[in-house]
Amino acid sequence: MISQKLTDLQLELLKVYSFQPNEEDLLAIKQMLAKYFSDKLLSKIDTVTTDNNISEQDLDKWLDE
């Protein structure tokens, strides 16, 4: 069996769960995490498209291929 260390994120989430948050708090945490990673992805996409002169029309065209 391979032993793997937990990431910093996993350790922080374990700390949160140790306080036994209610369902409403868990949902809020999930939404915050989803928004954070969504915003981060959109920011990277914006950077790549700007740096490479990729237009929204280019993206739409690629989706149709």
**pLDDT given at position 3:** 74
Specify the number of domains making up the chain. Answer: 1
**pLDDT given at position 47:** 95
Cα(26)–Cα(20) distance, integer angstroms: 9
Domain contains 41 = yes
What is the chain written as a DSSP string?
----PPPHHHHHHHHHHHT---HHHHHHHHHHHHHHHHHHHHHHHHHHHHHTT--HHHHHHHHH-
Domain contains 60 = yes
Domain contains 43 = yes
Domain contains 3 = no
- Look up the domain containing 28 and give its range: 9-64
Three-point CA angle 55, 59, 60, nearest 5°: 115
**pLDDT given at position 1:** 64
For the stretch 11-60, pLDDT in tens is 998 998 888 889 999 999 999 999 999 999 999 999 999 999 999 899 89
Q: Is the pLDDT of residue 6 over 90?
A: yes
Q: Is the pLDDT of residue 2 over 80?
A: no
Give the residue from 58, 34, 54 showing the smallest Cα distance to 46: 54
**pLDDT given at position 19:** 86
Domain contains 29 = yes
Domain contains 35 = yes
